[in-house]
Structure 1
Amino acid sequence: MVFGPKIRAKTEEEIGYLKENCLLVCETLALIASHIKPGITGMDLDEIAEEFIRSKGSVPGFKGLYDFPATLCISPNSAVVHGIPHNQPFSEGDIISIDCGTYKNGFYGDAAYTFAIAPVKPPVEKLLKVTRQALQLGIDMARPGKRVGDIGFAIQNHCERVNRFSIVRQLVGHGIGSKLHEPPEIPNFGKKGRGAKLIPNMTIAIEPMVNMGRKEIKQDPDGWTIYTRDGSPSAHFEHSIVVREEGAELLSDHKIIDESVKNNEFLALI
């Protein structure tokens, strides 16, 4: 992973730009949620997302970055992250992890959400639910004086020790600002009290990537898409946050995505 300069607290103006971008990301994901149904393709969704982002005076944050070819990372079923949108239609029972980024006013936005086309098997529903819970537990640890390891421990403990799922080791969260990926790395595993110290007004993206089966992954020949090695389903939820004295403040907003999911008869709200 490529990172920018050393860890730096953001100004309120910079945080405002980040929040503007993260809100647009979530509005984009909410729009995408309204279109997901059996028969639609990843390429269809990618086209909708890019048109919407550009209509808001922003540009896709991922497209062209590190030569990634699309606006959205679309990773269905056993794909973990970084999936290139394809023209294979989605079907009932599919889960679809979608990661979106925008870039405007010199700053990025970043968030991800795993959608489920109903009906969803109970073990898969549990995977998504546990991943969302783990994200919140990690966010709860993001306060001044805590360390990156405290976030990772909270996520890992809930996913692996409590619920017997697996945390991907090679893929991590990150700082976010004028670069999409800034220090520090935010692993979804770790030990309490270890790693970089969290400081007020630092901005980070927390994004557990959780496999139903084993933690090992493999890369597709396309050079981007990451799959579980054993073919088991994987879930991915992400929030960008700012560390405040009183705790984490969300820059992204999954509630507007949830509302769109709830209004789509083809999707299961988990």
Structure 2
Amino acid sequence: MIRLYTENDFEKMRDAAEILCQTHLAIKKVIRAGLTTKQLDEFANKFIVDHKGAIPAQLGYGGFPYTLCISVNDEICHGFPNDYVLKEGDLVSIDNVIEYNGGLADSCWSYAIGELSDRDQKLMDVTLEALNRAIDQAKVGNRIGDIGHCIEEYAESENDFSVIRDFIGHGIGKEMHEDPQVPHYGKAHHGPRIQAGMVFTIEPMIASGNWPMKLDDNGWVARTQDGSTCAQFEHQLIIHEAGPEVITDQNKYSLNEDDLKFIESYRF
């Protein structure tokens, strides 16, 4: 069942999205070579819980034991923060979900540690552009398949990368994962019709090599079978008659004075 939401729901989602985006902006200020992914997770938890008074919704979800999913290089998604020390040339995708005052917001962003290889930099650029192109397809009257078709054509046919098939976008609202399912590949003009009031994510995961994946023994961390790098960017959209509203656009938000003091005083 695809739920349609109201302006009252949207306001709660926007409030959660502001905290989510401020968390990403804070991470952007501190992420660097020499930090462990576990240190980043601990920083984000304190920023969200102690500083913002929000709930890191991934923590405990289905048994997931961390605030952030931090996926490095060949990890596709659901990466476990651990003692891995970030180094120059790493490509890091950080997925964050916030619950605040009854609203949910979900966004993943990829970060370069220092200078990437030419192919990995292109991978990041193409993944973000694929997301932006897909957002343009998320309008009333189109179908969900138009979104995936747009991503697949751009990433694979035009740029020789591979769209991960095993993980997809999703509806979000009362729960973190709802209908509709939003694949990042597929046929145009197929799937559910997009309607005003829908809320869903588009979150392409794109590999520099082939798309088949494997799971680590922990049952969570997914990585490419061929060891190729993967990038991911994700936005949460509210569908209006006039077009999609990207509530997780970091450019809409900024860090306030208290946020900056928190970051400056934090000790890794």
Q: CA deviation at 1:106?
A: 2.0
1:171 aligns with 2:142: no
What secondary structure, in the 3-state scheme, does the structure 2 residue paired with 1:204 have?
strand
| Cα distance in 1 for residues equivalent to 2:46 and 2:215 | 29
Q: Say if 1:174 and 1:204, in contact at 8 Å, map to a contact too.
A: yes
The one-letter code sitting in structure 2 at the alignment partner of 1:79 is E
Match in the other structure for 1:100: 96
Give the match for residue 231 of structure 2: 235
Structure 2 match to 1:57: 53
Q: What letter corresponds to residue 55 of structure 2 in structure 1?
A: V
**Distance change in 2, residues 1:228/1:86 (3 Å):** same
CA shift digits 1:149-201 (9 cap, x unpaired): 00000111100110010011110000010101010100000111101111002
CA contact under 8 A between 1:74 and 1:96: conserved in structure 2? yes
User: Which stretches in structure 1 are left out of the alignment for 5+ residues?
Assistant: 1-5, 260-270
User: CA separation in 1, counterparts of 2:165 and 2:139?
Assistant: 23
Q: Retained in 2: the 8 A contact 1:33–1:257?
A: no
- The 5 A counterparts of 1:27-46 are 27-46=22-41
258 and 228 in structure 1: CA distance in 2 versus 1, 3 angstrom threshold: farther
Q: Which runs of at least 4 in structure 1 moved beyond 3 Å after TM superposition?
A: 256-259
The residue identity in structure 1 corresponding to 2:172 is I
Q: Distance in 1 between matches of 2:91 and 2:243?
A: 32
Is 1:255 the counterpart of 2:248? The answer is no
**Alignment: residue pair count:** 254
Task: Identify unmatched segments of 5+ residues in structure 2.
Answer: 256-268
1:255, CA displacement in angstroms?
2.7
Letter in 2 for 1:20: D
8 Å CA contact 1:107, 1:179 repeated in 2: no
One of 188, 191, 201 as aligned partner of 1:195:
191
Q: CA offsets, 1:223-265, max 9 Å, x none?
A: 1111010000000000001111121111102337999xxxxxx
CA 1:258–1:232: 2 relative to 1, 3 Å: farther
C-alpha change, 1:141 and 1:169, in structure 2 (3 Å) is same
| Same amino acid, percent of matched pairs | 38
What is the Cα deviation at residue 107 of structure 1?
Answer: 2.4
Q: How does 1:1-270 map to 2 (within 5 A)?
A: 6-54=1-49, 55-255=51-251
Deviations 1:83-116 (A, max 9, x none): 0101111000001000001112222110010000
CA distance in 2, matches of 1:153, 1:216: 19
With the length of structure 1 as denominator, give the TM-score of the two structures: 0.92
CA RMSD of aligned residues (A): 1.4
**C-alpha separation between the residues in 1 aligned to 2:13 and 2:135?**
17
**2-structure distance, mates of 1:22, 1:156:** 27
Normalised TM-score (structure 2): 0.92
Say if 2:22 and 2:250, in contact at 8 Å, map to a contact too.
no
Residue pair 2:15, 2:103 contacting (<8 A) in 1 also:
no
